[in-house]
Every structure is written in structure tokens, then in C-alpha cells.
A and B are shown apart, each in its own frame.
Chain A
């Protein structure tokens, strides 16, 4: 049985990523898909990029996120000071090989009936958020795949479009398998692994089982105190450390 662990918005949070990987392996993950934003905000960009690169070499799917793109291009004067500081710091942590890996990431990957993108399917490189049903329908209409997986939005969410043209949205309950029958189109937002923002500090990811046509949203508690301490030690903005404890 194929079980695909879909992980997104890892944001250089080693502690969260380690916890998610261990959880997904224990759940029997057979494949991996990464929806981008491997770096930015957190204190371990090089480690996270190395991990993902290794798994991509072994067959995992991965797409580029806006933070990855920014790390490759470098900061621009238009950016807010905080963002500029984070990007410059992140870029300095990455060696040329790691930057090349990020630069080579595609904006979308399709595997069978599944589309992986970072932000949306209608303009994957433009970074528009899927913030509601209208955006979700726009994204679903842009693909023939029945299953789209996207990140960028850090809160877990599930959108669907039925045969009658009516769309719905749902805030998933963690750990409850949700059937995703293939006669509907689905947009799965697993939520951020490295910087959850729905008030729950536990790391997010989703496990998709194409055979059984179902998805389970998982929440994995991790040592966010260590992750925050590293952010502070690196001299990154304190706000980025503080929010991990609250998941905001």
C-alpha cells in the first residue's frame, strides 16, 4: 500500500522536521512529497536542505517555495528589514551545492493523479495564497488532477469540488482518516511542518493513501523550545522564535 507523506513549509526547523520524519516513518510512509519553503525563519536551513536533497535523490517529489526562491535570488531593497535580515542570514548558511539544489526545484510536479505545488495550481510561481473557496476553486479548475497538494498557507485545510460544481471547505481533525473519493476534486493543504500558525504548536503534515483514497492530517509535537533557542542564538528576530511556542 502506497502511503505518501506530504510535508510542506519546513522553514529550516530541524527539530520539527526530525519529529515529522520519525512519525511518518512509524506510520509506514513509502513515498515523500515536499511542497517547498524548506528555508526561511528557522535556524537550520542547511540541514533541512540536505535532508530533502537526499530524499529527492531517492525518489521524493519536491517543489520550490517562495522562501527557497528568495534564498537563491537574495534579498531585494523592497523587502521589509526583518525579511531581508532572515534571507541574507539564510543565504549565508547555504553552500553553493545547496543553493543549486534550491534553484533547480520545479514549481510543480505531477505524479499520476496528483499535483504538487507550493502556493496554487493556477500560477505556481506567483505565490498567491489559497485563502478561501474561491481561490481553491480557481486552483482546482487549473488542473485535471483529482488531487492537488499545496502549502504556502500554514493552516491545515481541505477543499473539495463536487460533480455539481459546488465547492466546500473543511478544517480537518488531526488523526482522523478522511475519504477522498476520486469523483470529486480535492485540494489538500497539510499545514506547515516548521512554523504552524493555527494556535497549535505541533508540526503538521498529511499522509495520503492513493489506493484507499484517503488522507490523514497529522500533528506531531516536537521540541520547539530548542528550535526557538537556536533562532535566538543565531541572532534572528526574536518574534520568529517566540511564535513557535504558541503556533501563531
Chain B
């Protein structure tokens, strides 16, 4: 697409040397309010940064009259500041953003609208996300713990969505995080990002690590640019800062300073903030592990933990009150000397594929024993073949739609506990056989009037990759109650495996169908 701006490009332009791609942007005069670029009217400069300026823009027709497009959000134009056409950081960063943004979709990224030709007037027009970034909140850190956790959940959810689109952000920090009115986090600025299926224009460009000093992961310091777990490290830095008011690794400006994070671990958050619960420290320090393999493997797994703190398995990380000893650091320093990261870091797809969240929906109270066995065996096989998978065992405790439930609180609690006990008992052979340590196995009893809705909602909220559940065996029951599994299959966004207990032969299954319905089918939960 050639840009055909109505702005004056005649005067003040640089002379052309060689072919035009060497003279990027040098023909464009500085932009001013009221200028029209490629059909966009520059209304107001919202921000002038070192790398780019931001303009609020609107669409106009050839005569300059407003020409809004239906259903289009308010627009913003990002114009890179090119210093003399030989500024690799800005040029390539802009190229990268221009390449990656059109490939992104969903509520966690600003919607891409248009871009300008670099040889005339480089720009990107995108959805204007109203409000401020998270950056000003840093000044208020430490924040309330609830808020830190909420921010963590939202940003992790957004990150997982990005990673699923094969993109690693690589510059996660408060100034690149915004929120929609409904609270959903929006990640902005893709100038340093890496798309797994597109050429990495930055790969060969610079001899210095790329990123923002305080947030850069150890592997980024070592020039790895395709590991989605780098973003989880940066999120860990952010959560640490918001929790304690301090930066875990300071704000180094030299490569030597950056490399220190390879062997010096941060002061444990609880030493700086006594009311930081051990589980939150566990989460933050896990994000800040030097080895990506020791961190959360996906943002979804991190979000799941933050939403279910009671399920977090506490390790030595949670108990630490001081930094590692000099001796430990010395050892780490020694091994970090000249250490090169693994030759082939796993791609976003690989990491996500091997670190899925599997959800077993188990109707512990009502399903037939054969079905429960079959379900367990199926789940075992799935988890066995995916060594990085997490297993969330879920059952639904039905409650009445309206508040005046017959159950007293006490009764409700004991039923809840009973289901939880049943669920854990059901999963015991799996956890024993597969040695599911380190928080890979969690249990959830959902209280909801509609089991199918509850299961679909849980899967969506926790970005579950695969639901495994039983089919209601009795066809008469199914006829009266509808099938929970078919609703889940129809409505969930992920893979669903529906398990049936193998019947000895067809005639017996037919007999079962003719049996009268049990007395109180209304109590049945998912099967």
C-alpha cells in the first residue's frame, strides 16, 4: 500500500541516496495538528516519547470531511521518530511492530487498523485504549495485595492469549500494560516482540541485549528471543515491584549489570513486606527463576495459581527470608561465566503444547464406578503423555438457583468438603502413579446451579486446553436431564474428550436404558 498523504511532502525532505529503502522516512516533514495522513486527520498529540509520538486521529474523506467507519473504535496513530534515517532501534522496532500487529486479534491487544509506507510517512493506526498505563501505579507501590494478585491474573491471562497467537512480547512492563473498562488487560508496544512464524528482523540487528533493563529475563540477556517464559519473568519482576515497592534487580544500565541476575537472586519479598503471604512469594520467586524450566511453564498455569492460592504447593521459595548465601552465589556466578543458553530454546508453540492444563470433570457422587474408573484411566493416559501438563480435577456441587437454599452454611460446607475428599480419593491412583509434584495437581469443587455452565466457565477462566469428562451412561436419565457433556462439548472453546464406560455388550446397555429412572434424578451432577 502506498501512502498518499495530503500533507506537504515537498519541502524539507532529505535528498535521495541510492535506493529509497536507505532513506526511510527522511522525506516526511514533522507532523502537525490538523495534517491529514493517508485519510487520517491528526487531531491531538497525546504523547511525545523518545521513540514515537502518539496522535489521536479520525478518518476523513478526500475533501477532509469526517468519514467515520461503522463499529470502529476511537483511533490513535503511532508515528516513529526517525533520527536521520539511520536509527536502527526505531526503524527496526517500527518494522517489527508493523509486521506483528496485523497478525494479532482479541481483546488483549489494540485492534490494528492501518499502516503507512515507510518511504513516505511511517505510522501505525490502531485502536485507542482509553486511560493510563499501569506505569503511574508503580509510584504507589507497594499496592494492596488483592490488587497485586488481580493485576497478576489479568496480565497473565492476556499473556497466555498472546502466546497462543505465537507471539512473545519481550518487553512486558507497567508502561506497556493498559486495561479495558471491563478490566481485561491490553498489552501494547510490539516493537521488540517475536512472532514464531514470521522472520525476526531484530535477530541480527543489535549487539546488545534487547529489552528494558529491570524486566529483562536472563535468557534475553543472553540473546534468546523466542521463549514465552521470558514474559513470565518480566511479569514476576512487575509483581515483585508492586508487592514490595522495590525492583528485584535494580535498574542496571550496563550489560555487566544485567548479567548479575544470572547468579544473584532477589531479596525475598516477605523480607521487605511482612504481610506478603508465603504463597505469593512462592509465585513471584517461581516467575523469577533463572532457568525458564523452573518457572511457570505457561501464563495460564500462573493465572490458575493466582486464582486458587489455597492450592499452591509451597516449596523452599515460600519460606526464604534472606538471599542465597555468598557461596551459592559464587557457584552460580562461576557457572554463569561464559554460560550460553540452550542452543535451541523451545518455541512458544512447543512450550504451550507441552504445558497444557487438563481438566477432569468428575461426578464423584453420581457416576457409576465403571465410568469413574474409565475416566481415571483416560486422564492418566493423557497426563502421562504430557509430562508438563497440569491436571485440575473439578466436580460440581449443585445449588439452587435462588439464594434460599435448603442447605445451611454448615451443611453446605460439609457437602463441599465431602466432594473434595471424594475428588481427591478418585485422583489418588493418578497422583501416585505419575508422581504429580510441585502443584501439578489441583482440586476444585464448584458450587453452581448448572453443572455444564459451571464447567464451561471454569475452563474458560482458567484457559483449560482439554476437558475430560464422563458421559451419562443411562440413556433415560440423559433424556430427562439433557446431557451435561454434550452442552460442554458444544459450548467450550477447547478440546473435550467424553469418556464412556465400556459396556460388556449391546444388549446389556439396552437393558440399562429400559430400567426405571432413579428416585431423585435432580441431584445428578455432571456425568
In the complex, the chain B residue whose C-beta lies closest to that of A173 is B197
* Contact indicator B24/A183 (Cβ below 8 Å): yes
Measured in the bound complex, the distance between the Cα atoms of B2 and A212 in whole Å is: 10
Q: Does A154 contact B (CB under 8 A)?
A: no
Of all chain A residues, the one with the shortest Cβ separation from B95 is A181
Interface residue? A167 (CB, 8 A): yes
**Chain B residue nearest in CB terms to A211:** B1
CA of A170 to CA of B95, assembled, Å: 16
A162 interface contact, C-beta 8 A? yes
Decide: A164 near B205, CB < 8 A? Known: A170-B199, A182-B117.
yes
By a CB distance below 8 angstroms, the chain B residues around A25 are none
Cβ proximity bits B86-99 to A, threshold 8 Å, 1 near / 0 not: 10100110010011
**A181 to chain B: which residues have CB within 8 Å?**
95, 98-99, 118
Residues 188-204 of chain B: 1 if any A CB is under 8 Å from the residue's CB, otherwise 0? 00000000111111011
Chain B residue at minimum C-beta to C-beta distance from A144: B19
Is B521 at the interface (CB under 8 A from chain A)?
Answer: no
What separation, in Å, do the CA atoms of A173 and B200 have in the docked complex? Answer: 13
Interface of B is mostly: loop
Residue of A nearest to B349 (CB): A173
CB contacts (< 8 Å) of A178 on chain B: these are: 197-199
User: How far does the alpha carbon of A200 sit from the alpha carbon of B99 in the complex, in Å?
Assistant: 28
- A199: interface (CB < 8 Å): no
Contact of A163 among B85, B117, B197 (CB under 8 A): B85
Instruction: Kindly state whether residue B21 has any CB partner on chain A within 8 Å.
Output: yes
Which chain A residue has the least Cβ–Cβ distance from B118?
A183
Q: Give B164-180 as 1s and 0s: 1 = Cβ < 8 Å from A's Cβ atoms.
A: 00000000000000000
Cβ 8 A contact of A162, one of B19, B196, B201 = B201
Residues of B with C-beta under 8 A to A169: 199
Q: For the complex, is A235 an interface residue (Cβ under 8 Å from B)?
A: no
Contacts of B86 in A (CB 8 A): 164
Count of B interface residues, CB-CB < 8 Å = 27
Partner pick for B201 among A146, A168, A211, CB 8 A cutoff: A168
A166 at the interface (CB under 8 A from B): yes
B200 touches A170 (CB 8 A): yes
Provide the bound-state CA to CA distance between A27 and B101, in Å: 24
Chain B residues near A164 (CB, 8 Å)? 86, 88, 91-92, 205
- B residues 16-41 touching A (CB-CB < 8 Å): 19-22, 24
B309 within 8 A of A: no
**A213 interface hit (Cβ, 8 Å):** yes
**Chief secondary structure at chain A's binding surface:** loop
Q: Number of A interface residues, CB 8 Å?
A: 25
Q: Does A138 contact B (CB under 8 A)?
A: no
**Are A163 and B91 interface neighbours, CB within 8 A?**
yes
CB < 8 Å neighbour of A179 from B20, B22, B198, B205? B198
Does A183 lie within 8 Å of B21, measured CB to CB? yes
In the complex, whether B102 has a CB less than 8 A from a CB of chain A is yes
CB distance from A135 to the nearest CB of B (A): 16
- Asked if B53 is at the interface of the complex by the 8 Å CB criterion, the answer is no
Cβ 8 A contact of A183, one of B1, B119, B204: B119
Question: Does chain B have a CB within 8 A of A158?
Answer: yes
Tell me, in angstroms, the Cα distance from A132 to B102 when the chains sit together: 29
For B118, list chain A residues within 8 Å (CB).
181-183
**Complex Cα distance A146/B19, Å?**
10
With a cutoff of 8 Å between Cβ atoms, the chain B residues found around residue A91 in the complex are none
* Residues in B whose Cβ lies below 8 Å from that of A172: 197
Give chain A nearest CB distance to B94 CB in angstroms: 10
Partner of B99, one of A168, A179, A211: A179
Q: Smallest CB–CB gap between B170 and chain A, Å?
A: 17
Instruction: Judge whether A185 is part of the interface by a CB distance below 8 angstroms.
Output: yes
Give the complex CA separation of A163 and B19 in angstroms. 10
A-B contact pairs, 18 of them (CB 8 A): A144-B19, A163-B91, A166-B205, A168-B200, A168-B201, A168-B203, A168-B204, A178-B198, A179-B98, A181-B95, A181-B118, A183-B20, A183-B117, A183-B118, A184-B21, A184-B95, A211-B1, A212-B1
* 6 further A-B pairs in the complex, CB-CB below 8 A; given A163-B24, A168-B200: A168-B199, A173-B196, A179-B98, A183-B20, A183-B21, A212-B1
The 4 closest A-B pairs by CB, nearest first: A170-B199, A183-B118, A173-B197, A176-B197
Residues of B near any A CB (own CB < 8 A): 1, 19-22, 24, 85-86, 88, 91-92, 95, 98-99, 102, 117-119, 196-201, 203-205
